Every structure is written in C-alpha cells, then in structure tokens.
Amino acid sequence: MADPIIQRLEAVIAERRGASPDSSYVARLSARGRPRIAQKIGEEAVETVIAAIQGDAKGVVSESADLLFHLLVLLADMGLSWDQVLAELDAREGTSGIAEKLSRPKE
C-alpha cells in the first residue's frame, strides 16, 4: 500500500490532469504528451545526480521530490499506479540484483 503522501499526490495528479493547462502544471505537462513527461523525468534525474556528485544533501532531497512527482505524472499518464511499482519491488525482494537482471528477457 502506498504511503499517504503518495496516495494524496496520485489523487491530485488525477484531478489536475483534466484541468485547464492554463491553470495547472500537471494539465499543461500532460497536454504536451508522454515524451515531454518522460523528458522531465530525465531532467530531474540528472539534477538529482548532479546534486549527489556535489555532496548537496538538501539538493538531493529536493530533486528527488521533483523526480518522484514527475514519475507519478508518468504513471498516471500510462494508467499505472505507485502500488504497481511497489508490488514489483515486493516481488523482487530477496532476489539478488545480479540474478534479477539475468532473468530479464534478452532484447
């Protein structure tokens, strides 16, 4: 089960996706499409990495919040939920990262 803040964010994102792009960042981002949402995730991930390399703990926390927010927007855009991500993590628990990677289908 998702953390209460994640549940609240998912609800707000779901509500705002249908709002006017003039009044809601989520609606504006959603209107620009999945490629733009994915691009924002990449930008926030890079900013998180930069903060980490610089040893900026406050920056890592702030950028991580931005990263998670944009990930939640992407999940909503794809009709997915944070609980599905948690279920995947739960299914992987106890599995070596190396073993998990080896179990993935070859491309």
Domain ranges of the chain: 4-103
Within 13 A of 71's CA, how many CA atoms are on the CB side?
14
- State whether residue 106 is helix, strand or coil: coil
Determine the pLDDT at residue 73: 98
Kindly state the helix (H) or strand (E) to which residue 42 belongs, with its residue range: helix 34-53
pLDDT tens per residue across all 107 residues of the chain: 568 999 999 999 999 999 999 999 999 999 999 999 999 999 999 999 999 999 999 999 999 999 999 999 999 999 999 999 999 999 988 877 787 778 778 87
Question: In the CATH scheme, what is the code of domain 4-103?
Answer: 1.10.287.1080
Q: Terminus-to-terminus CA distance in the chain, angstroms? A: 32
Determine the pLDDT at residue 1: 58
> Cβ atoms within 10 A of the Cβ of 98, count?
8
